[in-house]
Amino acid sequence: MCGQPSDLAGHVEDPVRCLRMEVGALFLWATVFAAQTSPSGKTLVPTLPRPSGSFAVGRIGFDWTDRSRREVLSKDADAKRELMVYVWYPTETGGKIGKPAPYLPGAAAINKLSDHALSGADGKLWPAILSGKLASHAMEGATPARTPARFPVLMFSHGLGSPVFHYTAFIEELVSHGYVVASIQHTYEVNVVAFPDGRTVALSPTSWSIYGPQPPEVSEEEASKKATAWEKERDNVWAADISFALDQLTMLDRDRGSVFFGKLDLAHVGAVGHSIGGRAVGRACQLDRRIKACVNEDGAPDEGAVLNYPGADPPNQPFLLEEIFVAPPTDKELADAHESRQHFNQSVVQHDSAIDKQLRQCRDGGYRVTIKAPDSDHNSFTDVPLMESADDPKAKAAALHSLSLIVRVTLAFFDKYLRNEKDSLLDTLHDLGPEISVKHYSAGTP
């Protein structure tokens, strides 16, 4: 779902409509970039917030192929699952500096596509992206920070269609506070993946046919069942991507020739994902016990905090469901959807009950946090609101505020469970006021 309620005032949205909204977001950058011009006609280049932690940020991209898995979405029957994984890591401030990392690697290859909309970047800012003027704060090839000896590792999964670079500000902030973040481009389910040899792979037409507009003869119920069944298959693939990437990081940590030799704290691994990526993280946490803490950002399905699989228990690692509050529907909206208030309220209660049941099984670490900051929405986890507000100081301040709350919650959770911080902000989030709602499920929570 796009967003989930924290109580009866929440608005449970139709899952298929939400999935279509995510696919529609493939073309959001085109709209965003086309809008970023000043009254004088000059292109405005948005700037991302500088990370606030004590570390600078490095980034290295890896092209990894899992030879044990066939790529079922490729037209080539012999193709294996190939991924671009970008590892962001802490570096010394003022230390050995690499070269500035572009915001969107592979822009030159993407520029050769006939339809830039598939890249998510065909508007007025495309020249800025292509030239590197729209930049991240990361440096390519920088030396990892010397202390501490090792850094905890976070595996990151994006929302459907959204490249990991949509989450640059969020990732860089986590890294600046001492985490290595391995962000996975899930091939065929991101707008375009650009590989180092110049190849590009766009969103699979199969995924578009499942999540996109359906023929008029297909009912919403049929479409929902079809989408859920397909997503469960793909979440297994994405979960395997996460585990494979973790395998590769383990080899890098043991490789004396690797920049990450001896730097990765693989005893303290977390996973975080947004939207469908959050559901994939839930599946990965069911299957891979190397992952010690799990975060689903605004991706709770109808079935609870994670999708239910036959014979599979919910994750029992510490688990955070982090959501954006969605206002309840008006009477008119319910009438237009042919929905009664009574049935709507019942669905909210059932969904809350499913989440409660799953999170109670987590080892003293089931959290449900709802963010209620003004103007926050499903995209607040991404850079998109910052891009949209480049020439609107008020909107930019609101976007930065929402993102700061998201980062504080996420960091507090991982600091508690991966760094064993006793006095975690996570347990005092209610002090932040009405913009944060926290529910903690410990053993025996009713």
Q: Which among 275, 235, 238, 272 is positioned nearest to 379, based on CA atoms?
A: 275
In a domain, 4, yes or no: no
**Helix (H) or strand (E) run with residue 155 in it:** strand 151-157
Q: Which residues contact 397 (CB under 8 A, 6 or more apart)?
A: none
Domain with 249, as residue range(s), is 15-441
Rounded distance, CA 226 to CA 192, Å? 24
pLDDT attached to residue 33: 34
Write out the two tokens for 130: 């292509």
**Closest C-alpha to 408, from 385, 392, 430, 391:** 430
**What CATH number is attached to the domain comprising 118?**
3.40.50.1820
Q: Which residues of the chain have pLDDT under 70?
A: 1-44, 95-97, 114-125, 423, 430-432, 443-446
Phi, psi of 324 (to 5 degrees): -100, 130
Residue 303 lies in a domain: yes
Query: Is 1 part of a structural domain of the chain?
Result: no
Domain assignment present for 10: no
Within a domain: 335: yes
| Contact present, 168 and 386 (Cβ < 8 Å) | no
The two structure tokens encoding residue 300: 């709770």
* pLDDT attached to residue 96: 60
Q: Is residue 3 part of a domain?
A: no
Question: Which residues share a beta bridge with 154?
Answer: 181, 270
| Domain total of the chain | 1
b/e burial code for range 269-284 (CB count within 10 A of at least 16 → b): bbbbbbbbbbbbbbbb
Q: Given this model, what pLDDT does residue 137 score?
A: 93
Does residue 356 fall inside a structural domain?
yes
Q: Model pTM greater than 0.85?
A: yes
User: Is 8 part of a structural domain of the chain?
Assistant: no
